[in-house]
């Protein structure tokens, strides 16, 4: 099975149309509470990053008459508090405690505070070395803080107590510019969906600010609408959600008079917005929206330019089709599949990392709403067909 793009030259070749592929726009932010019984998001995508910084070991080194009143301890629950109790006999005695801190997670961290309890005993001095506030602790690494407790040489008379009780607490925050980005979520119909940076899931669209798109072989973007299974393409910058019917509605021509003008309107436009829309039980939840219908250059190698061209001409309506760039942006393999040229050259690979490919009927075709820039006939298509090799 391989995939490529091509244009059609005659309405007599009636092709598979994914009915409202990328077409229905739902105003989730306002409307969800009113129809949550009809609209259900069936899956979420979660960031797999892990925050886990803790003290893993404490060793002590004693000098002179110093001794441990109790063994050093550290908090296994919160992980970042250590306690020491030291007996000091005479000036010059000291104990050094080496505290090992490890970042077992996959988020870089910064030490923002070292808090040491103070016994207010002028005869006892606390000093630290090694870790300092502002130091970074990278993921899967460790560092050490040395705490020195000593009997001051400047003491001229015996203090009332020569026992030191000390507690050290370390505070870490995520490092600025750390290797794992800060987790963020998108409110989608009352559900917080995590934004990911790898694997299948919801991504920030790198080409259009404020927009989020589902990418990968099979992300959890399924949704129930009008009693049918649909899939979420994107959360638009205006907080509407663009969804695509999961199955074809049948074989239809883009336009039965061979026009490539969607706004004329094309016969498929008329059918979807005047006939098919009325068959949806939740048609009142569909809102009119601007669809990008700018013509597309075949085999171009400039996705940013293609998106600009698509967005250069718009049509306002309720139901339409996906754009060619929406298909490309659904692929996680950007190195080999991000442009029409790359997608064509690497089609056997590209079909394995793009969930939209699975919606195309075997041996069939998928129309897009923008027309082919080099022709006056009909629209631009995604083609799936059986070829040898």
87-108 pLDDT, tens digit per residue, is 888 888 888 999 999 988 878 8
Please, what is the average pLDDT of the chain? 76
Q: Is the predicted pLDDT of residue 71 greater than 60, yes or no?
A: yes
Q: What does the alpha-carbon distance between residue 225 and residue 19 come to, in Å, rounded to a whole number?
A: 14
Q: Which pLDDT score is estimated for 23?
A: 26
Q: Which pLDDT score is estimated for 206?
A: 93
**Residues across the chain:** 389
Q: Which pLDDT score is estimated for 358?
A: 77
Mean pLDDT of 361-387: 63
Q: Which pLDDT score is estimated for 121?
A: 73
Mean pLDDT of 221-233: 83
Q: Which pLDDT score is estimated for 239?
A: 76
Backbone dihedral region for residue 307 (phi beyond 0: left; psi -120 to 50: alpha; all else: beta): alpha
Q: Which pLDDT score is estimated for 77?
A: 62
Phi, psi at residue 348, to the nearest 5°?
-65, -35
Mean pLDDT of 59-71: 89
Give residue limits of the domains in the chain.
Answer: 2-47+210-385, 53-174
Report the b/e string of 297-310 with b at 16+ CB within 10 A.
bbeeeebeebbebb
Q: Which pLDDT score is estimated for 172?
A: 87
Mean pLDDT of 159-185: 71
**What percent of the chain clears pLDDT 90, i.e. is strictly above it?**
20
Q: What does the alpha-carbon distance between residue 158 and residue 160 come to, in Å, rounded to a whole number?
A: 7
Q: Which pLDDT score is estimated for 190?
A: 66
Q: Is the predicted pLDDT of residue 164 greater than 90, yes or no?
A: no
- How is domain 53-174 classified at the architecture level of CATH? Sandwich (2.60)
Model-wide pTM > 0.85:
no
Most confident range (mean pLDDT) of 65-79, 248-262, 336-350 is: 336-350
Mean pLDDT of 156-183: 70
Q: Which pLDDT score is estimated for 254?
A: 80
Q: Is the predicted pLDDT of residue 184 greater than 60, yes or no?
A: yes
Which range among 70-84, 288-302, 325-339 shows the weakest confidence by mean pLDDT?
Answer: 70-84
Q: Which pLDDT score is estimated for 389?
A: 26
Look up tokens 């959600």; give the residue.
Answer: 241
Q: Is the predicted pLDDT of residue 201 greater than 80, yes or no?
A: yes
Please report which confidence band the pLDDT of residue 205 belongs to, taking 50, 70 and 90 as the band edges. Answer: very high
Q: Is the predicted pLDDT of residue 148 greater than 60, yes or no?
A: yes
Please report which confidence band the pLDDT of residue 183 belongs to, taking 50, 70 and 90 as the band edges. Answer: low
Which range among 12-21, 235-244, 288-297, 298-307 shows the weakest confidence by mean pLDDT?
Answer: 12-21
Q: Which pLDDT score is estimated for 364?
A: 63
Most confident range (mean pLDDT) of 185-194, 208-217, 231-240 is: 208-217
Kindly list the distances between the CA atom of residue 182 and the CA atoms of 46, 104, 139, 288, in Å, as whole numbers in the listed order: 13, 17, 14, 34
Q: Is the predicted pLDDT of residue 278 greater than 90, yes or no?
A: no
Please report which confidence band the pLDDT of residue 387 belongs to, taking 50, 70 and 90 as the band edges. Answer: very low
């Amino acid at each position: 099975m391989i995939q490529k793009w091509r244009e059609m030259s005659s309405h007599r070749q009636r092709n598979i149309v994914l009915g409202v592929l990328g077409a229905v726009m739902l105003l989730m932010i306002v409307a969800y509470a009113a129809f949550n019984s009809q609209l259900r998001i069936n899956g979420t995508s979660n960031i797999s990053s892990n925050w886990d910084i803790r003290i893993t070991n404490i060793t002590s080194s004693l000098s002179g008459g110093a001794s441990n009143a109790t063994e050093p301890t550290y908090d296994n629950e919160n992980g970042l508090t250590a306690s020491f109790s030291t007996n000091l006999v005479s000036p010059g005695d000291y104990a050094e405690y080496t505290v090992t801190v490890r970042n077992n997670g996959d988020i870089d961290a910064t030490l923002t505070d070292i808090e040491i309890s103070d016994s207010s005993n002028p005869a006892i001095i606390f000093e630290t070395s090694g870790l300092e506030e502002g130091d970074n602790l990278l993921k899967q690494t460790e560092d050490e803080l040395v705490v020195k407790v000593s009997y001051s040489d400047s003491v001229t008379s015996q203090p009332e107590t020569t026992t030191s009780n000390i507690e050290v607490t370390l505070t870490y925050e995520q490092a600025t510019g750390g290797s794992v980005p800060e987790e963020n979520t998108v409110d989608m119909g009352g559900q917080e969906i995590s934004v990911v940076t790898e694997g299948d899931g919801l991504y920030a669209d790198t080409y259009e600010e404020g927009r989020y798109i589902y990418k990968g072989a099979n992300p959890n973007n399924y949704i129930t609408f009008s009693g049918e299974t649909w899939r979420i393409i994107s959360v638009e910058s205006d907080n509407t959600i663009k969804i695509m019917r999961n199955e074809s509605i049948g074989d239809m021509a883009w336009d039965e008079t061979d026009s490539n003008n969607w706004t004329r309107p094309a016969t498929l436009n008329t059918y979807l917005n005047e006939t098919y829309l009325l068959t949806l039980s939740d048609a009142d939840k569909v809102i009119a929206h601007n669809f990008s219908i700018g013509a597309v250059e075949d085999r171009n190698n400039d996705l940013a330019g293609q998106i600009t061209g698509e967005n250069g001409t718009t049509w306002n309506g309720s139901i339409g089709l996906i754009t060619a760039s929406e298909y490309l942006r659904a692929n996680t393999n950007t190195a080999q599949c991000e442009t029409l040229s790359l997608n064509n050259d690497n089609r056997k690979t590209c079909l394995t990392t793009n969930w939209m490919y699975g919606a195309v009927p075997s041996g069939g075709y998928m129309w897009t709403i923008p027309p082919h820039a080099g022709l006056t006939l009909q629209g631009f298509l995604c083609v799936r067909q059986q070829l040898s090799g």
